[in-house]
Structure 1
Amino acid sequence: MTYRTAVPADVLANVRRRWPEAAESWATQAELQLRELCARYRATPREVLPARYGFVVAVDTADGPLVIRSSPDPHGKDQAAVAVALAELGIAPRVHEAFSTEHGTWTVLDQVLPGTPLSQADPAAVDPQALFTPLAAMADQPPPTVGMPSILDWLRDRLEDDHLTDLRPGTTVASASERRAALEVLADLTRDHIPALCHGDTSSGNILAHGPNRWMFIDPRGMTGEHSYDVAVLALRVGTVYRSPDLADVIASLAQADTERLRAWMKIAQAARV
């Protein structure tokens, strides 16, 4: 089969809409840099993986499968730093290399196998303990770099946006009253918030099966926050399948999160439609 190393048309279209001034040069350089990295790792490209704003390619090497990823996101360097920190905790794939150029940020990682996203897994086969316990490793970990943007500011912007378009699938913008209540909760949490390591986007598409009963967290947002927020976002997804009044208590115990703080973050995440 002939492998085409071009950035997929849908990815390029998304990048053009979001970063129009950078799209063409990034796409051209991404294709050239991929060839250089494949030569460096003696890698053979196998498959372009699904992505919205990145060029993500699975490759084979003599030492095992890797994923080579390029992103034009201006915050790509922060995202790579979080990916490295999560990998060091054992809850994300090992990062072999991460670097930035004037056109974007590159990461070379172990490929997670079988790599089935949580969104495509059989809910009955998912062990909540295996899913939430790894997040406990993030508790009270410092941010990987100084000066990273905050998830609190990002959430506040979403809650104040009457015309939010980047919504969780199947949802509409929350009512003004729901968003005002969530903003009050966010203000309360901000008073004693200490910026810490945070994945920032624990949606079910960013959690991949690793072996028969483990999960890896990929594609972090590149912001500071607190791990209870990550637990909350994932708890909202799980809550659509496992309906129990005690679910938040069980999840908080597994992830070593404060139950009341977890419930507060769940309220904010729900209103912000993340």
Structure 2
Amino acid sequence: MTDQLALPADVLANIQRRCQMSRTHGQPMSLKSSKPSASATKRHRAASSQPATDSSQPWTPQTARWCCAAARAPAAAVAVALADLGAGPRIHEIIVDDHGTWTVADRVRPGTPLSRTDPTTVNPQKLFAPLASMRDQPAPLPSMPSVLDWLRDRLEDDSLTDLRPGTSVAPLHERQAALAVLDDLVRDHVPGLCHGDASSGNIIASGNSRRMYIDPRGVAGEHVYDVAVLSIRVAQAYAGAEVVAIAADIAGVAEERLRAWVQVASAARV
């Protein structure tokens, strides 16, 4: 979420310098800020809408400082990984200070979120393809919060308030069944690259047909979980269609595992 913010002087100086470089090279930028939150559900969200460096660029002190900043901000590290895959906008700067995590990124145009778009007008291939690129990608940091723990906290919370629009806390029996499914998923779970919050507000239009993913949660997990969340969000728009089967095919995931993740995400009201 982009806020109206009073920037610390050192952050503002960096932004002004990078924006001047942007104008020189004709690359529009946008500023996103994310401030770490401490919630009962251990939700780690130093979010941003950011991208990555070109691996062909030389290793410089600037690059080293930039990578160190990403290492201190899990969400920024995920955003960098997404950008490397072309699934998110390119990042120009990551700044971590006492006020939070700040990122300078390419501005995505038109930038219309899926939440403000009729999903039936969006090609499912374009929608799920960025998630397919995340398959078998490692977590960007060696030690990150887990989406599994975050989901378990939600499923065990009888008073959950951060709910998917139009829903209420799932009945106890539904959450208990989902916890059993989650336990099954954990058995062969390998922590990898995961957006963690593939809701319709975090998927924006780039050009005429591309979709980019912004504001990751900053967790390790499975990209199949992201496919599940998006499947839930667009299911009503594709009434009569087998959304899960379509999504599994496009994203290159096992349909049975995807259905298991859909059950967990649905009960957690993600």
| Fold shared per TM-score above 0.5 | yes
Deviations 1:122-158 (A, max 9, x none): 2231110110122111011000001100000000000
TM-score (normalised: structure 2): 0.82
1:189-268 to structure 2, matched below 5 A, reads: 189-244=185-240, 246-268=242-264
Q: Distance in 2 between matches of 1:261 and 1:81?
A: 26
Tell me the CA shift for residue 99 of structure 1: 2.8
1:1-274 to structure 2, matched below 5 A, reads: 8=4, 30-43=7-20, 61-62=23-24, 63-73=26-36, 75=44, 76=46, 77-244=73-240, 246-274=242-270
Q: What amino acid is the match of 1:252?
A: A
Number of residues of Structure 1 aligned to a counterpart in Structure 2? 234
Higher relative contact order (Cα pairs below 8 Å, separated by 6+ residues): 2
Q: Distance in 2 between matches of 1:231 and 1:135?
A: 7
Q: Distance in 2 between matches of 1:39 and 1:242?
A: 44
* Residue pair 2:15, 2:104 contacting (<8 A) in 1 also: no
Q: What amino acid is the match of 1:61?
A: R
Q: What fraction of aligned residue pairs are identical, expressed as a percent?
A: 55
Tell me the CA shift for residue 64 of structure 1: 2.5
Q: Distance in 1 between matches of 2:34 and 2:120?
A: 35
Worse-matched range after superposition: 97-106 or 86-95: 97-106
Q: What amino acid is the match of 1:64?
A: Q
Q: What amino acid is the match of 1:237?
A: R
Deviations 1:85-143 (A, max 9, x none): 00000000011121312331111110111000001112231110110122111011000
Segments of 4+ moved more than 4 angstroms: none
Helix, strand or coil: the match of 1:61? helix
* Residue pair 1:34, 1:68 contacting (<8 A) in 2 also: no
Deviations 1:57-106 (A, max 9, x none): xxx73423211122221653000000000000000001112131233111
Q: Distance in 2 between matches of 1:31 and 1:124?
A: 43
Worse-matched range after superposition: 74-83 or 174-183: 74-83
Residue in 2 aligned with 1:21? none
Alignment gaps of 5+ in structure 2: 38-43, 47-72
Q: Distance in 2 between matches of 1:136 and 1:164?
A: 31
Q: Distance in 1 between matches of 2:259 and 2:220?
A: 19
* Residue pair 2:35, 2:99 contacting (<8 A) in 1 also: yes
Residues 167 and 43 of structure 1: CA distance in aligned 2, closer, same or farther (over 3 Å): farther
Residues 95 and 42 of structure 1: CA distance in aligned 2, closer, same or farther (over 3 Å): closer
Residue in 2 aligned with 1:49? none
Q: CA RMSD in A?
A: 1.8
